Chains A and B, each alone.
Chain A
Amino acid sequence: MSVLSIPFLLFAAAVTIIYYILPHRFQWMCLLAANLLFCACAGIRGCLVLLAVAFITYLAGLFLGREKEHYSAEKGTLSALSGAQKREKKCALKEEHGRRNRMILAAGLIPVIAVWAFFKWNADHGSIVMPIAVSYYTFIAVSYAADVEAGKFAPERNFFRYLTFLSFFPQMTEGPFTRYDRQKEELFSGHSFSFRAMTEGILRMLYGYCKKIILADSLWAVLGALLDSEQVSGLSSAVLVLLLPLQQYADFSGCMDIVIGFSQILGIRLPENFRSPIFSKSIDEVWRRWHVTLGAFCKDYVFYPVALGKRLNETAKKISVRHPLAGKNLPVMVSLFCVWTFMGIWHGFGAKYLLWGWMNLFFIALNVLLGAQYKRWRECLHIRQGNRGWSLFCMARTYILFGIFEMMSDGSAAGIGARRILSLVRPSAWSAEPLKAAFSSDGASSVCWPVCILLVILILVIDTAKEKKINVMDWMHRAPLPAKAALYVALFYLIVLFAPSGMNVLQGFGYARF
């Protein structure tokens, strides 16, 4: 059941009605039933995988909790001892506790990640269809177990409540990645109906549908044809570089708007996944603004565990005796390597994804290593921090770089991606034929480009307002009733009249394939 389909809207409406009819303490049960039904609609196999992942990580959490209790109890018995004996026993106990914790965590996470890797590998090689949202809930479950192990919160004792968190159906398309400690309150505290939350949620959903159905699908009508084409030309590559980031932003953030908007109707806040990435001035900033929750996951569960690793820091210390700069940067570089290798693999088991990850790594590492040098160069050129022209240049540079990375990962193979990049610098390869063919394809001919341009302007205005910390929803809330009604109707008709697919089936979400 795609969130773009009418059955989803009917399903969402039914869930909303039942959810608000029920007393607060039963509302989460309604969500659980809806989650399972939603998953079952996508396939029973996917449902079983979800249940298995939930059960394994739930058990891991319970065992980790029990181990913690055990450790506390044993630590209590040490109070009778004193001095060196106590310290020695405490150290041994801590080490034993750490060892057992790691074993439980490994026993919980290895099968879960293996299941994910199995499906991911086979889906990438075309032998099976990936269960719905497996790449999202698997790592949400990983974060839950890791957090319990780190003692951030006590494990959830009720399996069904944990399942409700893990399988929350609005996030079963493209995330966002959530954390149990932050979502627990949202999911289980119970919510009363709010007209304002409902209208704001609907407005956000409509905005998301417009972004996805009109802009992303319109652009895809051309970009999809260019990516499918075996002919590579500089002009078509330039168009891909310029439009792919915009298409992916409209597609992915459109889905997030729909998902977050619907959750808002239920009174449940989901974390934002985008913070106006168009304003990023460097590649590392892109990843703090684009797919924010994945970036945060990588930071907390890959970067820091590696960077703060005992052995790595000991090695860095040894190296820094002879090479201080190398020793200082070693933990960061190794951690970044792990992060971007993970990022590449999370997107897919293919050379192009690894290459994509390492291209990102290269520019981020460059920024880390030469950051001080850049600053000195800027000062020499008398470019002030915050200079508007310089900021625009940085934004354009970052946008183009990001576009090149996306073009690399969106092609059918790494080889084609590389050929596309090379074609950009070969004037002889700037033929207009592939572009002409893409624009005259069936899908592209039904696109209304003025409406797309209007939407791009609207997105820029809203993102600028967000960047300036202006609350657009508050502003909308204060608008007179007829203006609000007209806006809702206008957005609805934009979708109905300007969907490029017309009466054909809509495109799925790009990030859902990961």
Chain B
Amino acid sequence: MAAQEPLLKIEDLWVSVEGKDILKGVNLTINPGEVHAIMGRNGSGKSTLSYTLMGHPRYSINRGSILFKGEEIGDLPPDERAKKGLALAFQYPVAIPGVSVSNFLRASVKAVRGKEIPVKEFRQELKAQMALLEVKDEFLSRYINDGFSGGEKKRLEILQMTLLKPALAVLDETDSGLDIDALKVVSSGINTLATKETAVLLITHYQRILNYVKPDFVHVFQSGQIVKTGGSELSEELEERGYDWVTQELTPSGVA
């Protein structure tokens, strides 16, 4: 592992939105095929990290670097990052009325893979992934996220990840808003996704998804920084002792 070039290397990353600093010196290294979890309270800046990685135009990088496969990607538009093998499963995916899921998936897979996929071949691949995520056929003719339930949206996000097979899949709060059955299905989708070829960065507020998806590393996110890193045991400790425990550990006075 050590001789390998990191897949993602974030160094001293400072990011602001509309003039307000949100990320304040993030450092993170992910090697190919690793599963990382970032845990933190709401408002700690976790989603800002995912949006910044994907290149949302409203997030400005003020300092630091994001190296993906050894290349700085901080100035690239989102579509070029996607073509390099980065993908983001959104916490709140938007609806696009009038565009069918199947047309969208095909256009997206074609764009990312850089070549046309024969209809039949694509169908087969799609059906296999859909079966795994317990997604019904009628999904394909519906409009993107239009009138979807929370669970359906998350399944569509994971379905896209499994089709795009990115080198790094960033999953932003994929577990939020799911009941236990949906959580199990989505988790098994994530486990299928996480292979030697695909590293996963799982961003979450709750520990419960980590009962199904085992990360190699757990990071605690707080006030725009990673403040603690450990193995999967760290998430259990967090579950038991709460985020305040980390806060207290860092600031002996107990004031965050």
A binds B: no
